[in-house]
Amino acid sequence: AADGGAGLLWLKGMQIVNGGQTTASIYFTKRRDPTLDLRLVRVPAKIIVMKSKDPAAEEALISDISRFANSQNSVKQSDLSANKPFHVEMEKLALSTYCPDGVGRWFYERAAGSYNTMLAREGGTPAQLRKLREAIPPARKITKTDLAKYLNVWDRRPDLVSLGSQKNFEKFMEAFRGADDSTPSLPDVAAYKTMVAKAIVFKKAQALIRPSLPAFQANVVAYTIALLAERAGPSFSFDQVWDHQDISPTLKTQLQTWASEVSEVLNRSANGRMVSEWAKKPECWSVVKEANY
């Protein structure tokens, strides 16, 4: 260092575990006002050098740092999972995989707020921002908790989805890792496109079903998609959904028909209980999938 004290010559493999908002504030403040002199700004930092060569141990330590450094705030389980290899790979696939039109992309929000950060970073002018929003509109953003919802409902577990976003996410990550605590295989482009297709079906169904129901729309949507997964099975063409970035008019009509029937079954089988609570039970799914449609 200039004062003769010890200093850092170089750092490798750095990542910000806690302090992302501070970093972003400094960056965007300088960007808004290039004349601003940041040399007088001092940010206290704690640098942790991890000696372990075990990726799983490093991941656990990073998660613990986030949890305990934010003990004054509510830290969501989904936020602590942002650095897991699966989510990192999903983010990479989203950045490099274009829609069939060769222009648009989907956005996987691995870290909370990263979609807005991307718009601020890359949309420097009004024209650039408009072009970016057209290529990657908010409707094509998928968060980690969204993905857990889409995949669990297609795995025919609407009861887990009905637990709420954070609890469903925890169950998703538990099942994803497996009983033997092994590291799950990472998704490839084909798997990514299938996951986006599942998101498309869910989003389209949600837009169709919600306006037509007076209450418990989220539960009806989850159970209707699970019914589709149960009835269609492996014959459902996710490739076709990806290619058209939409579902067929026939499927839209079928989903609306089933949604009305699923709503009736949920209300009848609840036997006076709150439907949103009944929907959290595995027994509820057993009743719904055995009904006639």
CA distances from 223 to 11, 165, 194 (A): 50, 15, 20
Model confidence band, residue 1 (pLDDT cutoffs 50, 70, 90) = low
**pTM assigned to the model:** 0.76
> How many angstroms separate the CA atoms of 219 and 266, rounded?
9
Q: What's the DSSP call for residue 98?
A: B
- pLDDT tens string 187-214: 999 999 999 999 999 999 999 999 988 8
Of the candidates 220, 190, 187, 217, the one whose C-alpha atom is nearest the C-alpha of residue 85 is 187
Amino acid present at 16: I
- Residue 120: per-residue pLDDT: 85
- Residue 48: per-residue pLDDT: 79
Residue 147: both structure tokens together: 């993905």
Comparing 219 with 125, which gets the higher pLDDT? 219
Q: What's the residue count for the chain?
A: 293
Residue 78 has pLDDT above 60, yes or no: no
- pLDDT tens string 119-152: 888 887 889 999 999 999 999 999 999 999 999 9
Determine if residue 31 is left, alpha or beta; phi over 0 gives left, psi from -120 to 50 gives alpha, anything else beta. alpha
